Chain A
Amino acid sequence: MTPDLSRLMTEIGRREFLGAGTAGLAGSVALRSLLADDSAAAIPPAGDSGIAPADPLAEKKPHFAPRAKQLIYLHMVGAPSQLELFDHKPVLSQYDGQPCPAELLEGQRFAFLKANPTLMGPRFGFSQHGESGASLSELLPHLARQADDLAIVRSLKTEEFNHGPAQVFMMTGFGRQGRPSLGSWLTYGLGSPSRNLPAFVVLVTGKQPGGGSSLWGSGFLPSVYQGVQFRTKGEPVLFVTNPRGIDPPARRRMLDDLGALNRLQLEQTGDPEIATRIASYELAYRMQTAVPDLMDVSGEPKHIQELYGIESGKPGFASNCLLARRLIERGVRCVQLYDQGWDHHGNIATSLPKKCREIDQPVAALLQDLKQRGLLKDTLVVWGGEFGRTPMLQGSAGPKAGRDHHKDAFTVWMAGGGVRPGQTIGRTDELGYHIVEDAVHVNDFHATLLQLMGLEHTRLTWRYQGRDFRLTDVGGNVVRKLLG
């Protein structure tokens, strides 16, 4: 046997080569002539090219010691009412049914409200919880038990008041598509600890959010930093499943051949891109095992499934919360959960409790579960929507009333990952209309998230069209009160 051939054997596996190959080999005239060609190169063994694959997702050093290493961002698509959930306004109750003071309406734009809207008091009760005495709605009984883990920000404000643009603003710091998303900035800045799952994973419950894939897009950053949507119906990751008729051993054989052939090409051309591609096939192969393993929650004990309130086998927000924990456990840098259905222009009295029932228990369980596994200290959990809702009612007064979009004041909360827990910051006026204390612009909020993750927001930049862009655009002040 020629030295070439022996090396080839190690490469493609002795069993296969001796098993079926030789007879056919000898039978081919064309091949005989090729075999006689002494100049033919041997297959370079794996890892022998001297050219390292470029890995844009290699872990990078943060700017300073991070408080949080991973992020779970829970986005309630449609914008939940802060006035029913976090920002209790007893005075608003007193004015229930009365016309909104004209000075509040001056110069304001609304998506739907017409002239002379009336105020509407909170439709649900509030009470104090935990040692911190956080004021929380009766609609969030499970979360109330984690009250001391939360840092509630009642004074967020944004610049967009329609869903699509506001979601894009919330996720990219800019009201139009084209900028990199929060998760993309994070993976660009920090790389990925996971070697067999994407760095940035997105799970959507219900319909697609209006901002579209730009919410997890990489904008002008290289596309390797874009979020990968995991689906809960059909294949979890598009095309992760082998075609029928290609079993795992067959896939492995295919990859071995591909690797060998690509390495030959690498040796021929010296192009490091080929090394990167070879590595990407190996990562794909690992993903083919890692993804089903991630998605298969049957191994989770019953009490855990019950903790999250998962109805067995049913995909939904609860099971996505459990998946979020599993993704964090596996080293995924950024996990985003979107939950559709919070746009309560009407029927807030019936629709909001229903939505809260869907998310309250799983979100609380996620915090609890992360905590009991020691993951919460390194994982920043964020909950919020794209804007808030107006103190004025929309539609007709009575059981069918709802609230319009409100960009000037809304609530988000954070937990874990170096956040100072057990506090509520920011205050709105008595009607919950304007912020009167500790206003936090979306840019400030982003600056704070990056700070918690060990990144200085003015230093996390990418030059595009002559400008060093950043997530916080030209704004952003870290909200120090939120740092633990």
Chain B
Amino acid sequence: MDSGCHFAFAADSPGAGSRRRRNMMLVLLSLCGSGLLQQAVADDRPPAAQSAAGKPAEAQSAALFKEQIYPLLLRKCAACHGEESQEGRLRLDARSTTLAGGISGPAVVTGKPEASLLYQRILGDGDLDRMPLDEEPLTAAQIEVVRRWIELGAVWPRDIGPEVTAPRKHWAFIPPKQPAVPEVKQTSWPHNRIDHFLLARMEQAGMAPSPRAGREQLIRRASLHLTGLPPSLAEIDDFLSDDQPGAFARVVDRLLASPRYGERWAVPWLDAARYADSNGYQRDGRREAWPWRDWVVAALNADMPFDQFTIEQIAGDLLPGATLLQRVATGFHRNTMANVEAGTDPEEEHVLAILDRVNTTGTVWLGLSLECASCHNHKYDPISQREYYRLYAFFSGTEKEIETNGTERDFIGPKLQVPLSREQQQQRDHLQAELKQKQAERTRLLATLDEQQRNWEQNLQLPGERMARVFRRGDFLNPGEAVRPGTPAVLPPFPAEAPATRLGLARWLVDPANPLVARVIVNRQWAALFGQGLVRTPEDFGIQGERPTHPELLDWLAVDFVRSGWCLKRLHRQMVLSAAWQQSSRITPELRKQDPTNRLLARMQRLRLPAELVRDHVLAVSGLLSQRMEGPPVFPYQPDGVWNHIGRASNLWPASTGTEKWRRGLYVNWRRTVPYPSFVNFDAPTREQCTVQRSQSSTPLQALTLMNDPAYMEAAVALAARLLNELPAEASDADRVQQGFRLATGRQPSAVEMRILVNRVQVERTEYAEDPQRAELLVKDFPVTGGHAPLALAPWVHVASVLLNLDETITRN
């Protein structure tokens, strides 16, 4: 056997140093020793060049493959690029998939090892990680065999390896088809199709659903879930006495129509959009972004179809004849942070903002962690770095976020002048009403308004074609290949005729062919109402995410959601009216044993209220809550010194006065580096970046907040006054306790609960009588006493505080 060509090639190969030449020697020995080149396996290709040894190169290559390469691929590569897992969408245990390659392109270029990714990656040359990742590198001899195999033609005989034509597609990338609704045995239980899917699974597992929750619990549950506020006592009584069929559906419809609905459902959307009233970082100065927040509330209340909701937020400014409101909607992606500390580079800030827009779009709509691909091809999901920057290109060409005069930096937007005159406000209100009616009419009205707005408008998108560079290793100072806007290959193609703009991207997202968006959105609504998503990693539908607990149900809902016009209210109604959602939340010992994490939903989940709603609920129970909507953020009570920043941004907390301080949590000023303390204590995120799932904790800081935060003490005083005011003077302590208990928990107290609290008020009455000054101190700071004397009020304040601290009070049972 002649090995001259090996040496010749090695000597010629660019960049081959002495190390590689040494490798050649080793390989040479191993090839000679095995004598395998004699065992050539014929492939179905026509014979090509003959080697100096007189054997066709293909035959040598095929033999090498069978003897060495294939075992090597199986041993060293298939764990991540095999049947089970295809990282980078690459599968190396089968012929066609290897030739097709993964997201980075074909793995092998016949005859050209240096140009073949397979060879480059095992060498670890250049910027890319060496393969096998996090394992011992291949030996020099093994590397050389690979090189040689490719050089000789990279022949993979058809009879070796499984016959697969494409890597198996991850479930979430296959468009959902609406499955048949399964049959169930307990036919009397289901209220709607959701229940069929859930019950079929329970029956399979030998489980049965929990009984329906009591009516008091149901109306409170529905009110808190749909509007974030408790039902009034009259609403409870009405429901309890409504024995006509459809009573609960009527309650649900009333709640869906309430303007409180939009305020409650805005909260998770604001988390996803990382909405805040400040820029973040060192100065964390004020930012006027609240018109966007109001837009969200209005859109949700008007039940704007989610596809339109998406398009207007991603590209409202690019819609033909974009209206002011549509431009306001694009505030979604202006909620990125901005560091204006001296020394920042406006260009870098701009890049960071765009990266954040790409990542946030990925998490919110696609349920994918695109971020990984900003520095390198995604390790798990089929998203290449190039594809990442093609998405980036859609968002390029917008104005910078900060400007500098050389010494100081300021957040400049892009800004949109929003008129706030009464006239405009009325027009907006009017528009909201119209939104509920016909689409056409709406468009016409917006166009009219638009005419009046032109003076204030400003081009948000700069002219010119959108392009981006692939930032090597994610470093914007190290730009590589230029790319045009485009979408990842694993998802449906971006239509050739669509504009390569954010508008095109937005429309592509909500195209019914997109396998992810509807599933991701439906899943988050499910998580909000049931406590856990059908996919329990709502932030990740990728390969590493959890599989759905009920895949068919998820698909059924997703398809149904799109077919019925992306209507969120309808979806919420569907879920809430299911028998599953109306189950008792009691965890029996059997249920705890059978299904400790409630995957099969044989019971309802008890859920603590989110931070803002803890506040709203307490304010509602005490009667203080202001129902005023919209407008600049408010500043309810906050201890002195919490704001303590450097620089030009003010540290003054301009405390709201009058009823403004009792507005819903949604409207409370959100400063990113120091969010409102009681919200922080109840697991609110900082809104520095996109969050689609908050953590749920029970901590001593929560206890301290509910017991001692003056905002909550004030509510306790107000609740006490309410109990004295709303019942006649001759009412007994028990009557008042009963009233307070119902206000806080939505139900009648049991006998024991009653005794504990009645006893409490009586004991405290004596205690305060012995020390009247303490009673005065208790209520002194809070002018919500309703004119009651401190001694009369104090024992009730004590009881009210107990009521407001109950686990049940802050929980959706």
Give the distance to chain B from A263, nearest Cβ to Cβ, in Å: 10
Contact at B806–A20, with CB atoms within 8 Å?
no
Contact of A165 among B339, B537, B680 (CB under 8 A): B339
Chain B residues, Cβ within 8 Å of A213: 673-675, 680, 686
B323: Cβ under 8 A from any A Cβ: no
Give the distance to chain B from A55, nearest Cβ to Cβ, in Å: 10
Say yes or no: A280-B699 contact (C-beta < 8 A), given A234-B639, A239-B704, A270-B589. yes
Residues 10-43 (chain A) with a chain B CB within 8 angstroms? 12, 16-17, 19-21, 23-25, 27-31, 34-35, 37, 40-43
Residues 249-303 (chain A) with a chain B CB within 8 angstroms? 250-251, 253-254, 257-258, 260-262, 264-265, 268-274, 276-278, 280-281, 283-285, 287-288
The interface bits of chain B over 753-783 (1 if a CB of A lies within 8 angstroms of the residue's CB, else 0) are 1111111111111110000001111111100
Contact of A212 among B673, B697, B765, B778 (CB under 8 A): B673
Contact at B698–A277, with CB atoms within 8 Å?
yes
CA distance A240 to B700 in the complex (A): 10
A115: Cβ under 8 A from any B Cβ: no
Q: Which residue of A lies closest to B750 (CB)?
A: A40
A177: Cβ under 8 A from any B Cβ: yes
Contact at B732–A31, with CB atoms within 8 Å?
yes
The interface bits of chain B over 197-210 (1 if a CB of A lies within 8 angstroms of the residue's CB, else 0) are 00000000000000
Contact of A463 among B381, B544, B713 (CB under 8 A): B544
A352: Cβ under 8 A from any B Cβ: no
A244: Cβ under 8 A from any B Cβ: yes
CA distance A217 to B281 in the complex (A): 14
Interface size on B, residues (CB 8 A): 112
Contact at B704–A284, with CB atoms within 8 Å?
yes
Contact at B280–A177, with CB atoms within 8 Å?
yes
Residues 298-314 (chain B) with a chain A CB within 8 angstroms? none
Chain A residues, Cβ within 8 Å of B709: 238-239
A420: Cβ under 8 A from any B Cβ: no
Contact at A212–B674, with CB atoms within 8 Å?
yes
Give the distance to chain A from B26, nearest Cβ to Cβ, in Å: 30
CA distance A205 to B704 in the complex (A): 24
Residues 369-392 (chain A) with a chain B CB within 8 angstroms? none
Q: Which residue of B lies closest to A215 (CB)?
A: B673
Contact at B759–A16, with CB atoms within 8 Å?
yes
A162: Cβ under 8 A from any B Cβ: yes
Q: Which residue of B lies closest to A278 (CB)?
A: B807
Contact at A273–B608, with CB atoms within 8 Å?
yes
Q: Which residue of A lies closest to B339 (CB)?
A: A164
Give the distance to chain B from A199, nearest Cβ to Cβ, in Å: 11
Chain B residues, Cβ within 8 Å of A30: 732, 734-735, 738
Give the distance to chain B from A259, nearest Cβ to Cβ, in Å: 10
Contact at B735–A269, with CB atoms within 8 Å?
no
Contact at A465–B363, with CB atoms within 8 Å?
yes
CA distance A176 to B280 in the complex (A): 11
CA distance A286 to B671 in the complex (A): 31
Give the distance to chain A from B13, nearest Cβ to Cβ, in Å: 30
Contact at B756–A208, with CB atoms within 8 Å?
no
With most chain B CB atoms within 10 A of its CB, the pick from A21, A278, A465 is A465
Give the distance to chain A from B363, nearest Cβ to Cβ, in Å: 7
CA distance A211 to B798 in the complex (A): 40
A1: Cβ under 8 A from any B Cβ: no
Contact at A258–B698, with CB atoms within 8 Å?
no
B542: Cβ under 8 A from any A Cβ: yes
Residues 49-103 (chain A) with a chain B CB within 8 angstroms? 56
Contact of A214 among B343, B686, B805 (CB under 8 A): B686
CA distance A43 to B797 in the complex (A): 23
Contact at B708–A4, with CB atoms within 8 Å?
no
Contact at A269–B585, with CB atoms within 8 Å?
yes
CA distance A244 to B781 in the complex (A): 9
Q: Which residue of B lies closest to A57 (CB)?
A: B699
Contact at B754–A163, with CB atoms within 8 Å?
no
The interface bits of chain A over 201-215 (1 if a CB of B lies within 8 angstroms of the residue's CB, else 0) are 000100110111110
Chain A residues, Cβ within 8 Å of B761: 24
Chain A residues, Cβ within 8 Å of B801: 246, 254
A134: Cβ under 8 A from any B Cβ: no
Chain B residues, Cβ within 8 Å of A277: 698, 703, 807
Contact at A265–B806, with CB atoms within 8 Å?
yes
Contact of B808 among A112, A239, A265, A466 (CB under 8 A): A265
Contact at B807–A262, with CB atoms within 8 Å?
yes
Chain B residues, Cβ within 8 Å of A41: 750, 752
Contact at A466–B794, with CB atoms within 8 Å?
no
Give the distance to chain B from A149, nearest Cβ to Cβ, in Å: 33
Residues 170-186 (chain A) with a chain B CB within 8 angstroms? 176-178
CA distance A42 to B751 in the complex (A): 9
Contact at B759–A465, with CB atoms within 8 Å?
no
Contact at A464–B759, with CB atoms within 8 Å?
no
CA distance A5 to B813 in the complex (A): 28
Say yes or no: A40-B751 contact (C-beta < 8 A), given A223-B695, A257-B756, A280-B700. yes
Chain B residues, Cβ within 8 Å of A262: 806-808
Contact at A177–B639, with CB atoms within 8 Å?
no
Contact at B672–A222, with CB atoms within 8 Å?
no
Contact at B733–A24, with CB atoms within 8 Å?
yes
Interface size on A, residues (CB 8 A): 102
Contact at B280–A212, with CB atoms within 8 Å?
yes
Residues 227-249 (chain A) with a chain B CB within 8 angstroms? 228, 231, 233-235, 237-247
Contact at A265–B707, with CB atoms within 8 Å?
no
With most chain B CB atoms within 10 A of its CB, the pick from A111, A178, A247 is A178
Q: Which residue of A lies closest to B694 (CB)?
A: A223
9-residue interface stretch from B112-120, B289-297, B422-430, B640-648: B640-648
Chain B residues, Cβ within 8 Å of A466: 369, 380-381, 537, 540, 542-545
Contact at A273–B698, with CB atoms within 8 Å?
yes
Contact at A467–B606, with CB atoms within 8 Å?
no
Give the distance to chain B from A347, nearest Cβ to Cβ, in Å: 16
Contact at B686–A212, with CB atoms within 8 Å?
yes
B460: Cβ under 8 A from any A Cβ: no
A336: Cβ under 8 A from any B Cβ: no
Contact at B539–A465, with CB atoms within 8 Å?
yes
B53: Cβ under 8 A from any A Cβ: no
CA distance A131 to B677 in the complex (A): 49
CA distance A43 to B752 in the complex (A): 7
Contact at B544–A467, with CB atoms within 8 Å?
yes
B352: Cβ under 8 A from any A Cβ: yes
Contact at B688–A178, with CB atoms within 8 Å?
yes
Contact at B673–A240, with CB atoms within 8 Å?
no
B342: Cβ under 8 A from any A Cβ: yes
CA distance A270 to B702 in the complex (A): 21
Contact at B686–A177, with CB atoms within 8 Å?
yes
Contact at B645–A208, with CB atoms within 8 Å?
yes
Chain B residues, Cβ within 8 Å of A307: none
Chain A residues, Cβ within 8 Å of B700: 198, 280-281, 283-284, 287
Give the distance to chain A from B224, nearest Cβ to Cβ, in Å: 16
B337: Cβ under 8 A from any A Cβ: yes
CA distance A162 to B283 in the complex (A): 13
B588: Cβ under 8 A from any A Cβ: yes
Contact at A42–B645, with CB atoms within 8 Å?
no
A-B contact sample (16 more), CB < 8 A, given A20-B766, A466-B369: A12-B760, A31-B732, A163-B341, A198-B700, A224-B697, A238-B639, A239-B705, A245-B774, A245-B776, A245-B794, A261-B753, A262-B808, A273-B807, A464-B540, A466-B544, A467-B544
The 6 A-B pairs of least Cβ separation, nearest first, read A212-B673, A245-B778, A111-B343, A466-B544, A210-B282, A40-B751
23 of the cross-chain contacts (CB-CB < 8 Å) are A12-B759, A21-B759, A34-B734, A34-B751, A163-B282, A177-B688, A178-B689, A208-B644, A210-B283, A210-B646, A212-B281, A212-B284, A212-B686, A221-B695, A223-B697, A223-B699, A233-B640, A234-B640, A241-B708, A244-B780, A254-B707, A261-B756, A405-B343
Where the two chains meet, the residues of B that have a C-beta atom closer than 8 Å to any C-beta of A are: 280-284, 337, 339, 341-345, 352, 363, 369, 371-372, 379-381, 477, 537, 539-540, 542-545, 585-589, 592, 606, 608, 639-642, 644-646, 672-675, 677-678, 680-681, 683, 686, 688-689, 695, 697-705, 707-710, 713, 732-735, 738, 749-767, 774-781, 794, 797-798, 801-802, 805-808, 813
